[in-house]
Amino acid sequence: MKTSDIEYHVAGVRYVGYLAVDEAREGRRPGVLVAPEGMGLGDLCKAFARRLADLGYVAFAVDYYGDGALTPREEVMERIGRLTADPAPIRVIATAALEVLKAQPQTDPARLAAIGYCFGGTTVLELARSGAEVAAVVGFHSGLGTTRPAEAGAVKARILVQVGADDPLVPADARLAFEKEMTAAGADWRLTLFGGVGHSFTNPEVGALGMPGFAYDKDADERSWRAMLDLFDEAVGPPA
């Protein structure tokens, strides 16, 4: 497998994403954009990218904040707050990263997907709302709200959102508002709800934060990954 850091630039800011691809495989294959949790592009997101590459996809992980650096925990909510108040900048950053993915010689630009975790899920949903040419979008314990709801007919991707029923950041009213938004937009959407599961259920180390309602859940982690792969098979076809 080849992994490499790749620069891209938005509004004069240097971003550094992470590419993972199996160069031993022949032919073009689906590309998957991977958007990390709110602290930014860390080891867990890179591991997800490598896992996808092992399966035959081309995976490119997004840098939100510049220089591929993580954001200190005490600054995360303030930065995310700015990006959710006006999603235009994060849509532009995600679109720039998607162009990097499309440009890879192993990527089939007609078969693209995007996944994201926590704020990364919010990011890929904003990408879908913007009308990006992606066939599938999957959010894991993702924030669902937006200040710029999808317009009718804008969402081209098949949408899968997977959240815990006990997630303190994604309560029932947020889920209902998302359902109404996607339905009004005419999107192909589905929402999987895991009973007894909280936030960041895909992160084995989240318990160290000591935050109520944040907990890893092995069953939800594995089931949500399989559901993602099922959607990929449906929307972009299997890798080569």
CB 43 within 8 A of CB 82: no
* Coil, strand or helix at 186: coil
Whether this prediction's pTM lies above 0.95 is answered by yes
| Stretch (H or E) spanning 228 | helix 218-235
Over residues 114-131, mean pLDDT: 98
**Sequence spans of domains, the chain:** 2-235
* Per-chain mean pLDDT for the chain: 96
pLDDT at 29: 97
Task: Sheet containing 13-21: give its strands across.
Answer: 2-10, 13-21, 58-61, 29-35, 107-117, 136-140, 158-164, 188-194
pLDDT in tens, 40-99: 999 999 999 999 999 999 999 999 999 998 988 888 889 899 999 999 999 999 999 999
- 2-235: which CATH number, 3.30.70.920, 3.20.20.10, 3.40.50.1820, 3.40.50.12780? 3.40.50.1820
Q: What percent of the chain has pLDDT over 90?
A: 93
Q: How far apart, in Å, do the first and last CA atoms of the chain sit?
A: 15
For residue 160, pLDDT over 90 is answered with yes
pLDDT at 73: 80
More confident residue, 152 or 82: 152
